[in-house]
Amino acid sequence: MGSVKDLVILEEPTREKTGLGRFHFSDRYSVFDWGEMPDHIEGKGCAICLSTAYFFEELENRGVKTHYLGLVEGDRVVDLSSLKNPSSMMQFRAVRVLHPRVTESGYDYSVYRAEKGCFLIPLEVIYRNSLPEGSSVFRRLREGSLTLQELGMEEMPHPGQVLPRPLLDVSTKLESSDRYLSWEEAKDISGLTDDEIGRLRDTTLLVDRLITEKVEPLGLLHEDGKVEFAFDPQRELMLVDALGTPDECRFSYRGIPVSKEVARIHYRRTPWYEDVEKAKREDSINWKEKVTLQPQPLPAELAKAISQLYMAFANQVTGREWFDCPPLEDVLARVQELLEE
């Protein structure tokens, strides 16, 4: 079980062969690496499942290898066009997850150097088309862990600034808290070659372009997103997990967030968030043990608006009315009202 989706393994993967798995996308949500929050967002699981299925199918149609096999409806596995009702369960090719060893000095990734294929690559690749308010880029620039040269900029950016070209970032995937890496570090810990890093970056840019192409007609700005990769048994890259959803991406509509950034904005105003940030500064590995406060549930009206945001997004991006909810534009007007209270 993950913080927002549950994993069922039907066939175990091996070094030589992918297995068979299912994700059950739940109505749980997570912010700031905390894990499961104290309440749920109604309809979120189905909306995320339908949205990511749509983008996986679009990528497969363009010849991009993914782990996606279809959506589960009763005893059938079907594609999106054959699905009769919203589904929260996706079937996929499963690979091994090899965890780095925790040591006194950090994490030991040596396990990856002896492996050929059929495993999850322990990286998250982040693409950025703009720098919305709340982007980690601003904090990293202040701290000095990121430079203007690496951004391809000469002056300090401002919130909402569109980048001259997509910026690709990379972070850890299997540590207790995501940690940004240089591309050389990413190559070293994952055991990737220069050519494999190049293909990983190229595929990420292709995903970025596809999602942008699909959401721009809806009036959405595609600000950033993340993708994850695995190797199949022949050590060919394939996209895994989920992508193109309001959990994996940040979208906005006339400055209003269309993502779980809405929940982040709310929680940044709470003492719990301050406690989390303080704990992470003190201990980047065991920080959760140092957090003394617990997050409170979202206000009821905000939780309802976020629920409708996910459902309206799924309706409009797939072009099918899966959920009975207002149009996305109306939902976002309500979101803005609530965030301004």
Evaluate whether 29 touches 40 at the Cβ level (below 8 Å): yes
Beta bridge partners of 224: 128, 250
Pick the closest to residue 262 from 333, 210, 159, 158 (CA basis): 333
Per-residue confidence (pLDDT) for residue 2, from 0 to 100:
67
Structure tokens belonging to residue 225: 């997103």
Q: Which residues pair with 96 in a beta bridge?
A: 119
The helix (H) or strand (E) run that includes residue 291 is none
pLDDT digits (tens, 9 = 90+) for 144-195: 888 888 777 888 988 888 888 899 999 999 988 888 999 999 999 999 999 9
Q: What is the pLDDT of residue 104?
A: 86
How are beta strands 221-231 and 237-240 bridged, if at all?
antiparallel
User: What does DSSP assign to residue 331?
Assistant: H
3-state secondary structure of 201: helix
The three-class DSSP label of residue 197 is helix
CATH superfamily of 5-340: ATP-grasp fold, B domain (3.30.470.20)
Q: What share of the chain is helix, strand, coil (3-state, %, to 5)?
A: 35, 25, 35
d(CA 229, CA 172): 12
Question: CB atoms < 10 A from the CB of 26, how many?
Answer: 21
CA distance 13 to 233: 10
Q: What is the DSSP letter of 297?
A: P
Q: Tell me how far CA of residue 73 lies from CA of 67, 82, 313, in angstroms.
A: 18, 10, 21
Q: Are the beta carbons of 243 and 227 closer than 8 angstroms? A: yes
What is the C-alpha separation between 193 and 186, in angstroms, rounded? 10
Domain boundaries, the chain: 5-340
Write the single-letter amino acid at 267.
Answer: Y
Q: 287: which residues sit within 8 A by CB, 6+ positions away?
A: 176, 177, 276, 279, 280
Query: What residue type is assigned to position 231 of the chain?
Result: F
What is the strand order of the sheet 19-25 is part of?
A: 5-11, 19-25, 89-94, 68-73, 76-78
Residue-level pLDDT, tens digit, the chain, 341 residues: 567 899 999 999 999 999 999 999 999 999 998 999 999 999 999 999 999 999 999 999 999 999 999 999 999 999 999 999 999 999 999 999 999 999 988 899 999 998 999 999 999 999 999 988 778 889 889 888 888 887 778 889 888 888 888 999 999 999 888 889 999 999 999 999 999 999 999 999 999 999 999 999 999 999 999 999 999 999 999 999 999 999 999 999 998 999 989 999 999 999 999 999 999 999 888 899 999 999 999 999 999 999 999 999 999 999 999 999 999 999 999 999 999 98
- Beta carbons of 287 and 303 less than 8 angstroms apart: no
Answer for the pair 185, 155: CB distance below 8 angstroms, yes or no.
no
User: CA 157, 162, 165, 169: dihedral to nearest 10 degrees?
Assistant: 60
Q: What is the pLDDT of residue 284?
A: 82
**How many CB atoms within 10 Å of residue 240?**
21
DSSP run (H or E) holding 138: helix 136-143
**Per-residue confidence (pLDDT) for residue 160, from 0 to 100:** 84
pLDDT of residue 149: 82
Q: What is the distance between the alpha carbons of residues 244 and 229, in angstroms, rounded to a whole number?
A: 14
Neighbour tally for 71: CB within 10 Å: 24
C-beta of residue 70 within 8 angstroms of C-beta of residue 61: no
Helix (H, G, I), strand (E, B) or coil at 294: coil
